[in-house]
Structure 1
Amino acid sequence: MEQLCVPQGQFQLSRYPHREKDTLRAWDAADEYILNHLADEQIPLSGNILILNDSFGALSTALAAHNPAMMSDSFLAEQGLKQNLLQNGLEETRGRFLNSLETPDKPLDLVLLKIPKSHSMLEEQLHRIRPFVHTGTKIIAGAMTKLVHTNTLKLFERIIGPTKTSLAVKKARLIFSDVADLKLPDNPYPLTLDLKGEQFTHNHYTLSNHANVFSRESMDIGSRFFLQILQQEKVGSDEDLSIVDLGCGNGVVGVIATERFPNAQLHFVDESYMAVDSARINFQRAFPEREARFTATDCLAGLEANSADLILNNPPFHQQNVVGDFIALQMFKESRKVLKKGGALWVVGNRHLGYHAALKRLFGNCTLVASNKKFVVLKAVKR
C-alpha cells in the first residue's frame, strides 16, 4: 500500500487484487495531473460528477467528499474502489459504481475520464455519455502520453466538440473537450461477427461483441486453434457435464462446447461486464431453449469448490497495460479448487509462456494435447 499525496489530501491506496511482491502503484501520473489541475484551476466540484475508467478507484477516493459516480467495465475496478474507500475510512456509498452497460441517471456537470487502452472502448463511452453532457459540462480526460494520439483527439471532436490538449507533465497529458451541437455519428457497437464456414462448427453463428471485448472484429487465432482441437480430441463424456468458460470474452468457446455437449451446463465467467453480456447474448441467440450462468468476477471467485467437470481457458497475459503471467497463474490455481476430482482444465496459450511448467507444479500433471508454430493446447487433471 502506498500513499497518494494530492491537494485533496493523503490517501492510502493499493491495487486489486493484492499480489505478493507487487511493486506497482494504484494510480499513475495522469491521476495526479487531473487532481492537481482541479485544484489549481479551482474547478467547482458541486453537482453531478462522473469518473470513467478509474482503474483502482484513486480518483474516486480522492474526490469521495463530492460523491462522484464511477463507471468502468472492470469488476476488479469496482472491487478496487470499495477496497480503497474502506482503507481510507470512507463509506462505500461515497463511490457509486456504474458498470459499462449502464448510463447516468441525470445530466453531468463534470466528467473525468481516464483514456482506456482500447480506442473502441473510448468511442463507445463517449457515445454513452453524450446524451448527458451539455454546454456547461466540464470534460477532462487524462492518460499517459503513449495513449494520446491524433485519432484520440479526433474522436472527442467528432462526438463531443472542440478539443485541445495540455502540455505533458511526468509523461502524462490532459485533454479538454467542449460540448458542441454536433450531428453525431451512429454508435457502431456492439459489432457482429459471422462464424459461418468455420471448420470447428457445424452450425452458423452470428456473435455480438461489445466495444471492450477482445478480438471483437475477428476471431483471434489462439481461440480458433483451441476450438479446432476441442472438436478433434476427447474432452469428456457426453453426460451432464458442468463446463466453465473461464475468461469467456464473447463466449465463443462456451458456445461451441454447448454444440458439442448438448446436455452440458455452461457457466461463462469474465472480469469484463461487456464480455459477460456479449457471452449472454451469443449463447441465448444460439440456444434459445437452453439455460446458462453468466458471472462477472475475479477469475473464479465465488464459484463453488469441486463443482466443475471441465474448465476451458484462453488466459489473458496482461491487466490493462501490465504484461505478465500473474492472471493466468491465478486462473490455474483457482481452477484446481473449482474442478471436481477427475475434472480437467484445458488451456490454450502462446508456446513461449511456459504454462506447462506451472500446470504441472499445481496439478502434478500436464499433457500437451496439440501444438503449432505459435500455440499449445494443454490439459491438466485434478487427481
Structure 2
Amino acid sequence: MFSTPWGDVDLARFPDNPRDQLRAWDAADAYLLRRLAGRPGPEGTPVAPVDLAAADDGAVVVLGDRWGALTTALAAYRPTQITDSHLAREATRANLVRNGADPGAVRLLTTQDDPPARVDVLLVRVPKSLALLEDQLHRLAPSVHPGTTVLGTGMTTEIHNSTLGLFERILGPTRTSLAEKKARLIFCTPDGRPVGARNPWPHTYTLPDGIGAASGHTVVNHAGVFCAERLDVGTRFLLAHLPARRGLEHVVDLGCGNGVVGTAAALANPDARLTFVDESYQAVASAEATYRANIDADARPAAFTVGDGLAGFPAASADLVLNNPPFHSHQATTDAVAWRMFTGARAALRPGGEMWVVGNRHLGYHVKLKRAFGNCEVAASDRKFVVLRATRR
C-alpha cells in the first residue's frame, strides 16, 4: 500500500505477479507527491501546495510514470500520462481500476503521440535515458508557459548535472532539492524562451560491413532506444550468425529495439513476412523507420506491435523468432522478462519452428531455453557471447 497525501493507494506492477517482491513505487514518487501537497521537505521550510484543481482537464501532465503510481494518486485531477512503456501504461490502467478510479478520467498518451496543447503542471519522473528526457522536453516545450509548474523527481543516482542541464537549456532556470530517502526533486521555472536548438532525435547511422545481409544498411533510432549511436556488439554477433533461410515464412523480431535484426532477416530472405514486437513505443517506431529505410514497405508490408512480449500472439503462427533479451526491466536487474519471452515464443512457434537467442555467456539463457522448449543447441559462440537455437517440438 502506497501512502500519499490524498490517501492510501493499492498498486502493483504489470503483469501482476504475486511472487514479485518489487514495489510499484519508490521514495522519489512519494517525495514529489508530498511536495505537491505542500509538505515541507528535509530543509523544513514551509512550502505552498500546487493548485492542481486550477489546471484544465488534461493539463496536469505526468511524464515517465514507472507503474502509474503518480497518475493513480492524482486521478481526481484528470491528468495526462505520457509514457514510452506498454507495461507502465497497462499497469496504470489496472491500478486505476484497482483503486476505484475512472480510467476514462486519465488521458493515456505515448511518447510518440502529440502532447497536450497546454500544460499547466508538468511532473517528470526522470527516465534512465537522458536522450529520452531530451526528446520529450523538446516535444513538450511548446505547450509549457511561464506559469507552468515543472517538478521532476528521481533517485539521487538518476539525477546528474546533465539532467539539470537539459531542463535549464530547454525550459528555463533549474535547481534541485536536498535529498530525502535517497530521492531528489527538480524545480524548473519556464521562462517562455524559444528553444535554441532543434530536437536532435531521431538519429540515423550506417551499419558496418561484415555482418551479413544488413551490412552497409541504415538504422534509425528514436530517443531512448538501445544503442542509438552505433551497433552493439551482441546484436552484431547475432547478425553475423543469423540462420540462412529461404521461402515463405513468418519471422518475429522479439524485443526488436531499432529493428535491425528483423530488417536483416527480411533482406536475407525476400519471401519472409516480418513482425516486430517491443514493449517500448520508441523502439517500435524506430523499427518501422529502419525497415522503411531499407525495404519497400508498400511492396513488402510488415507488422509493428507494441506489447508484453508475445502475450496474445496467435498460437503456432511463427516459423522463426529472433531475440536479444534485455536483462534490465524498469531499473531492476531480472531474468523475468527473458523467461516470458521464451515461453511466449514457444507458444507462438509452429512445430519445427525455431527461436534464436543471443546473450552474454554468463546469463545462462541455455538453462531457461531447455526448460521452456526441452532442448537448446549452441549455434555460435565466442569468448563473450553465445547464439542459442531452440526448436518447438
- Using the size of structure 1 for normalisation, the TM-score is 0.96
The aligned amino acid for 2:241 is I
Q: Distance in 1 between matches of 2:195 and 2:261?
A: 39
* Aligned mates of 1:199, 1:27 — CA distance in 2: 42
Give the corresponding residue for 1:309: 319
Q: Say if 2:239 is the partner of 1:227.
A: yes
C-alpha separation between the residues in 1 aligned to 2:195 and 2:321?
47
**1:33-182 pair list within 5 angstroms:** 33-40=31-38, 41-45=48-52, 46-47=54-55, 48-180=59-191, 181-182=193-194
- The match for 1:247 is 255
Deviations along 1:30-88, one digit per CA (max 9) or x if unpaired, are 11011100111321003111000111111000000000000000001110000000000
CA contact (8 A) 1:247 1:313 kept: yes
Q: 2:337 aligns with which of 315, 327, 331?
A: 327
Contact persistence 1:143–1:174 (CA under 8 A) = yes
The root-mean-square deviation of aligned C-alpha atoms, in Å, is 1.2
Give the distance between the partners of 1:285 and 1:34, measured in 2 at CA: 42
Could you tell which deviates more after superposition, 37-46 or 367-376? 37-46
The offset of 1:183, in angstroms, is 4.6
Q: Which residue among 376, 381, 384 is the counterpart of 1:366?
A: 376
Partner of 1:342: 352
Q: How far apart in 1 are the matches of 2:272 and 2:17?
A: 34
CA distance in 2, matches of 1:200, 1:137: 51
Give the Å deviation of 1:204.
Answer: 3.4
State whether structure 2 residue 230 is matched by structure 1 residue 218.
Answer: yes
Aligned to 1:24: 22
Q: Give the C-alpha shift of residue 239 in structure 1.
A: 1.8
1:146-185 C-alpha deviation (Å, 9 max, x unpaired): 0111111111111111001111111000001011224521
Q: Following TM superposition, by how much is the alpha carbon of 1:102 offset from its aligned partner in structure 2, in angstroms?
A: 1.2
- Give, in angstroms, the shift of residue 374 of structure 1: 0.7
1:3-34 CA-to-partner distances (Å, cap 9, x unmatched) read 11111111110011123421111011011011
User: Comparing 136-145 with 204-213, which one deviates more in the overlay?
Assistant: 204-213
Note if contact 2:211-2:236 (Cα within 8 Å) is conserved in structure 1: no
The residue matched to 2:311 in structure 1 has which SS? coil
Tell me the equivalent position of 1:267.
275
SS, match of residue 213 in structure 2: coil
Which letter does structure 2 place at the counterpart of 1:344?
E
Deviation of the 1:202 alpha carbon: 6.3
Structure-2 change in CA distance of 1:255 and 1:183 (3 Å):
closer
Give 3-state SS (helix, strand or coil) of 1:15's partner.
coil
Give the whole-Å Cα distance in 2 for the aligned partners of 1:206 and 1:354: 32
How far apart are the structure 2 equivalents of 1:302 and 1:105?
31
Return the letter of the residue paired with 1:156.
F
Number of the residue aligned with 2:41: none
Matched, 1:9 2:40: no
SS in 1 for 2:212: coil
- Runs of 4+ displaced beyond 4 Å: none
Whole-Å separation in 1 of the counterparts to 2:149 and 2:135? 19
SS in 2 for 1:109: strand
Note closer, same or farther for the CA distance 1:301–1:147 as it changes in structure 2 (3 Å cut).
same
SS in 1 for 2:19: coil
Secondary structure at 2:146's aligned position in 1? coil
Counterpart code for 2:382: N
Equivalent-residue separation in structure 1 for 2:269 and 2:240 (angstroms): 15
SS in 2 for 1:141: strand
Post-superposition shift, 1:361? 1.5
Q: How many residues align?
A: 377
**Residue identity in the other structure for 2:51:** P
Contact 2:251 2:273 (C-alpha < 8 Å) held by counterparts: yes
SS at match of 1:125: helix
List alignment gaps of at least 5 residues for structure 2. 39-47
Q: Supply the AA of the counterpart residue of 1:43.
A: V
Paired amino acid for 2:7: G
- Cross-structure match for 1:280: 288
C-alpha distance in 1 between matches for 2:73 and 2:215:
51
In the TM superposition, residue 320 of structure 1 has moved relative to its aligned partner by: 1.8
Q: Distance in 2 between matches of 1:96 and 1:182?
A: 27
1:370 counterpart letter in structure 2: A
Q: Distance in 1 between matches of 2:263 and 2:206?
A: 13
Paired residue for 1:204?
216
Q: How much has 1:290 moved relative to structure 2?
A: 1.2
Q: What percent identity do the matched residue pairs reach?
A: 47
